[in-house]
Amino acid sequence: MKQLEETAGKIRSMEIRGAGRIARAAAAELRDYATRLGVDDISLFNEKMKHAAGILARTRPTAVSLPNAVRSVMRYKGDSIEEARADIVKLANKFISNSENAVKRIGEIGARRVRDGDTIMTHCNSSAAFSIMAEAHSQGKNISVIATESRPRLQGHLTVKQLDGFGIKTSLIVDSAVRYFMKDVDLVVVGADAVTANGSVINKIGTSQLALAASEARTNFIVAAETYKFSPTSILGELVEIEERDSGEVVSTVKHAEFPGVKVRNPAFDVTPREYVDLICTEVGAIPPEMAYIIIKDFLGWGIEEMNSAVRE
């Protein structure tokens, strides 16, 4: 349990972060937990696995990739502990390798939408969005990227470091400079933490602001999202919960003491309505947001019973 709690803690504190990465980390932890689990009764084994799955799934509420990853491992079957364990290892490894391949494939598909000489704006730090920019650059397209800081956690610093390390011309801007620079931008590329059945995209706070500025400037807005970021339970009307994190990420306790009567708000994500999204690049193809339902139905493999029980959990 100690290692599982440690992984859960790292996801909560964002030491492990990024919607795809936390999903892979949760799948790997369930696999390792099952391997370590020293019980000799299958019902007890199943009970402990369920408990562990719950702890991991509840670490962060918004990225749908996380419960989707946990569910794909928890579909394991087995009448004995050995069978169950072997199936868990197989399913977790399958999820992890599919996820890594998906990010690569999104790069190949998304890069087709990038033209030589394009200036791309991006927000936060998304491995799927990076994959598109890196692939376009590797194909010899002369691109430059404008990346936002992405307050309060400054994940934009990770992005510019990655882009710069890859040899891509990169500028860093404050989040509030998005509209100021939009006139120089040919394409906006961002990642996603969740996509709902109606094609809305949930991503790092400020994404909808980029979308609004892009729409005003008639600039294409592309989302890079693996299929496991699509929310099956949104079909049943469930809303994706927007995580609100500690106010200390926005302003230190010492500083806050100077205006104690002020409530500091820190939502980590926002919703971009589908009207602002031109294309969602998944590993199974580049789709208009209106097709989100098809992805959930045809590629995630959830039956209606499974959706209902997920809503009840």
| Binding status of residue 128 toward ligand RI2 by CB under 6 A | yes
Out of 107, 156, 191, 206, the only residue in the binding site for ligand RI2 (CB under 6 A) is: 191
Backbone dihedral region of 293: left (phi > 0), alpha (psi from -120 to 50 degrees) or beta? alpha
Out of 4, 7, 17, 96, the only residue in the binding site for ligand RI2 (CB under 6 A) is: 17
Q: For ligand RI2, which is the closer residue by CB, 144 or 159?
A: 159
Which DSSP category does 190 fall into?
A: E
| Binding status of residue 155 toward ligand RI2 by CB under 6 A | yes
Select from 163, 123, 120 the least CA-distant residue to 145. 120
Q: Where are the beta strands (DSSP E) in the chain?
A: 119-122, 144-148, 169-173, 187-190, 194-195, 201-204, 220-224, 269-272, 279-282, 285-287
| Binding status of residue 203 toward ligand RI2 by CB under 6 A | yes
Q: In whole angstroms, give the CA distance from residue 108 to residue 223.
A: 14
SS3 label, residue 114: coil
SS3 label, residue 244: strand
- The question of whether 193 is a catalytic residue gets the answer yes
Out of 7, 127, 196, 282, the only residue in the binding site for ligand RI2 (CB under 6 A) is: 127
Select which of 32, 87, 116, 124 is catalytic. Answer: 124
| Binding status of residue 126 toward ligand RI2 by CB under 6 A | yes
Residue 171 tokens read as 């500028």
Shortest Cβ 108–ligand RI2 spacing (Å): 15
- The question of whether 186 is a catalytic residue gets the answer no
Shortest Cβ 111–ligand RI2 spacing (Å): 15
Select from 216, 203, 227 the least CA-distant residue to 287. 227
Out of 4, 8, 19, 134, the only residue in the binding site for ligand RI2 (CB under 6 A) is: 19
Which range, of 108-116, 120-128, 134-142, 174-182, touches ligand RI2 by CB under 6 A?
120-128
Q: For ligand RI2, which is the closer residue by CB, 91 or 192?
A: 192
Q: Using CB under 6 A, which residues numbered 256 to 275 contact ligand RI2?
A: 268
Q: Which residues contact 227 (CB under 8 A, 6 or more apart)?
A: 102, 282, 283, 284, 295, 299, 300
Q: Which residues are catalytic?
A: 124, 193
Q: Which residues bind ligand RI2 (CB under 6 A)?
A: 17-21, 124, 126-128, 155, 191-193, 203-204, 268
